[in-house]
């Protein structure tokens, strides 16, 4: 596979929003309980938060955290999770057929986020079993400084200062028949518009995310976006996209090209936004929040929820997918795809953060470790945050796939970093051959890399590659797959291009 990327300073696409490196913590399985919160664990701090997990979250470079769900939020009463812990009720969580102990709630999440480096909370309201009043109550509790029953209750519960939450999701996956309180597009659009109007009356600075489709392949896709945006366009700032990928019937070639589908999904939703904007003659901008994305082996054993009228376990092992080197390559391509669409995608949340389809795993009472997918995320966040994405001018030999026909064998994107250096992210989608990749560099900016001039003098590359694409990191072998220095990367003699295999 041969490929060439032209990085051209005359063609810059958009700044990389820090919110592109968001993640997601749902009350699901062992994401919260036994993941970020495990009182009694040798690594637990005075709040019961695992210090080892906090360290890994910092290393991962996550920015926003979407919370508390997911499907969970559609049956959640936020009041259950505040106030003295010994008075918090145990409830049925019907989304994951589990018992919610409510020992972790909004205050704990806010405290935990401070410890992970001041990450931004992206809160979801329940529009499944609840509606306008409860959403307004939660906003008042969270964001009003004081002097009202709910804001003073927050203060009495230990948070003198308001949480100041800017980003709010208006429900979760309301187009999905599996969702508690699932609605048709018209009914959802009506309640989402009402809640958005009401929330803005309390706090005009909120940024609202309206539910788009829970998958590109939903039968209502397109029509849903059109109906929902038509009613909510002026009231919201984002429309959401969710996408999970896995190989079907052993078709690894198509799986490796999952980024092609994600790219098409983003383009389709951007088209729906543009169509609504022009129909309404609006000056308002709505961006995409890709607030659930990942590889997820849905239907496999770890995703089977408990069942039985008497069986509602606390924090069961659920969705604990073990990611391979192959999965990490697909995952890296999804990140590249988000970056390539940075002009339309202003926020994204990797679903999820710990234990549940997650880059970070923990053993109960035991260690925490990095899955294969940890590496592409951490490396991309570290190198792309604060930068500006270039328009991807890429030519690549194609590889055949069943699902997407011929696709470029290499996918890549470049970012000019705040220090003047250029970061390039690339994946080889071919199952057959290594990729011969050339990057035509832009002029080096004055001062970059220590000196003025056009030619570059330094290059470094790191690659995640395994001869056995099923290789994974496990409790027994935590560092089996990691990034390695790629010594094939070399500048051409005149310092204007890089070649790497």
**Contact positions vs ligand AHR (CB under 6 A):** 26, 69-71, 172-173, 214, 292, 351-352
Compute CA distances 138 → 160, 164, 167, 231, 305, whole Å.
16, 12, 13, 23, 29
User: Could you give the angle at which helices 132-143 and 149-156 cross, rounded to 10 degrees?
Assistant: 50
> What's the gap between Cα 422 and its chain centre?
24
Buried b (16+ CB within 10 A) or exposed e, 5-35: bbbeeeebbbbbbbbbbbbbbbbbbbbbbbb
CB of 358 to ligand AHR, least distance (A): 10
Q: Considering 79, 292, 379, 466, which one is annotated as catalytic?
A: 292
- In the complex with ligand AHR, the residue whose CB is nearer, 172 or 232, is 172
- In the complex with ligand AHR, the residue whose CB is nearer, 120 or 321, is 321
3-state secondary structure of 473: coil
**Tokens standing for 59?**
């290393």
Instruction: Note if the bond before 352 is cis, omega within 30 degrees.
Output: yes
Buried b (16+ CB within 10 A) or exposed e, 107-129: bbbbebbebbeebbbbbbbbbbe
- In the complex with ligand AHR, the residue whose CB is nearer, 121 or 243, is 243
Give CA–CA dist 292/173, Å, rounded.
10
- In the complex with ligand AHR, the residue whose CB is nearer, 50 or 66, is 66
- Pick the closest to residue 28 from 103, 93, 125 (CA basis): 93
Q: Considering 173, 225, 379, 466, which one is annotated as catalytic?
A: 173
Give CA–CA dist 135/351, Å, rounded.
23
Burial of 153 (0-12, 13-18, 19+ CB in 10 A): middle
- In the complex with ligand AHR, the residue whose CB is nearer, 35 or 392, is 35
Which helix (H) or strand (E) segment holds residue 302: the answer is none
CB of 140 to ligand AHR, least distance (A): 26
Compute CA distances 8 → 60, 415, 497, whole Å.
29, 11, 12
- In the complex with ligand AHR, the residue whose CB is nearer, 24 or 375, is 24
38 is catalytic: no
CB of 69 to ligand AHR, least distance (A): 5
- Pick the closest to residue 193 from 236, 137, 226, 227 (CA basis): 236
Supply the DSSP symbol for 82.
S
CB of 71 to ligand AHR, least distance (A): 4
CB of 31 to ligand AHR, least distance (A): 9
Residue nearest to ligand AHR (CB): 70
Q: Using only C-alpha atoms, what is the Rg of the chain?
A: 23
CB of 233 to ligand AHR, least distance (A): 23
CB of 332 to ligand AHR, least distance (A): 20
CB of 489 to ligand AHR, least distance (A): 36
Supply the DSSP symbol for 235.
G
CB of 278 to ligand AHR, least distance (A): 31
- Pick the closest to residue 2 from 370, 308, 375, 436 (CA basis): 436
- In the complex with ligand AHR, the residue whose CB is nearer, 124 or 389, is 124
- In the complex with ligand AHR, the residue whose CB is nearer, 153 or 317, is 317
Buried b (16+ CB within 10 A) or exposed e, 350-386: bbbbbbbbbbbbbeeeeebbbbbbbbbbbbbbebbbe
292 is catalytic: yes
- In the complex with ligand AHR, the residue whose CB is nearer, 135 or 357, is 357
Active-site residue numbers? 173, 292
């Amino acid at each position: 596979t041969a490929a060439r990327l032209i990085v051209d300073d005359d063609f810059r696409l958009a700044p990389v929003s820090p919110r592109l490196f968001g993640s997601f913590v749902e009350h699901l399985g062992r994401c919260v309980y036994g993941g970020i919160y495990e009182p009694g664990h040798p690594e637990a701090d005075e709040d019961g938060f695992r210090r080892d997990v906090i360290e890994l979250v910092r290393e991962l470079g996550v920015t926003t955290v979407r919370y508390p769900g997911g499907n969970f939020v559609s049956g959640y009463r936020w009041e259950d999770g505040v106030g003295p812990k010994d008075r918090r009720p145990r409830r049925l969580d019907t989304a994951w057929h589990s018992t919610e102990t409510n020992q972790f709630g909004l205050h704990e999440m806010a405290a935990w986020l401070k410890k992970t480096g001041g990450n931004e909370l992206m809160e979801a309201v329940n529009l499944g079993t609840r509606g306008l009043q409860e959403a307004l109550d939660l906003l008042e509790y969270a964001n009003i400084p004081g002097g009202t029953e709910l804001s003073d209750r927050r203060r009495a519960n230990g948070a003198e200062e308001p949480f100041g939450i800017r980003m709010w999701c208006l429900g979760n996956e309301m187009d999905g028949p599996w969702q508690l309180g699932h609605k048709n597009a018209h009914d959802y659009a009506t309640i989402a518009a009402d809640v958005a109007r009401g929330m803005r009356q309390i706090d005009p600075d909120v940024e609202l995310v309206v539910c788009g489709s829970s998958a590109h392949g939903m039968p209502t896709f397109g029509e849903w976006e059109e109906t929902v945006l038509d009613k909510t366009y002026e009231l919201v700032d984002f429309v959401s996209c969710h996408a999970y990928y896995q190989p079907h019937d052993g078709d690894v070639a198509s799986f490796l090209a999952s980024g092609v589908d994600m790219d098409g999904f983003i383009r389709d939703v951007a088209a729906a936004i543009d169509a609504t904007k022009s129909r309404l003659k609006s000056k308002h901008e709505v961006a995409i929040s890709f607030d659930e994305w990942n590889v997820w082996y849905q239907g496999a054993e770890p995703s089977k929820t408990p069942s039985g009228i008497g069986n509602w376990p606390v924090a069961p092992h659920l969705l604990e997918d073990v990611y391979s080197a192959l999965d990490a390559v697909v995952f890296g391509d999804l990140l590249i795809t988000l970056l390539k669409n940075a002009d339309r995608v202003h926020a994204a949340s990797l679903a999820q953060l710990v234990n549940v389809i997650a880059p970070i795993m923990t053993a109960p009472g035991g260690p925490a470790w990095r899955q294969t997918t940890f590496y592409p995320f951490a490396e991309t966040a570290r190198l792309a945050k604060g930068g500006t994405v270039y328009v991807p001018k890429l030519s690549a030999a194609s590889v055949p796939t069943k699902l997407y026909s011929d696709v470029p064998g290499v996918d890549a994107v470049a970012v000019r970093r705040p220090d003047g250096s250029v970061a390039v992210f690339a994946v080889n989608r071919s199952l057959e051959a290594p990729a011969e990749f050339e990057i035509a560099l832009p002029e080096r900016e004055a001062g970059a890399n220590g000196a003025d001039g056009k030619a570059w003098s330094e290059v470094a590359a790191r690659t995640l590659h395994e001869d056995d694409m099923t290789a994974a990191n496990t409790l027994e072998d935590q560092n089996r797959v990691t990034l390695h220095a790629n010594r094939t990367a070399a500048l051409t003699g005149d310092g204007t291009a890089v070649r790497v295999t």
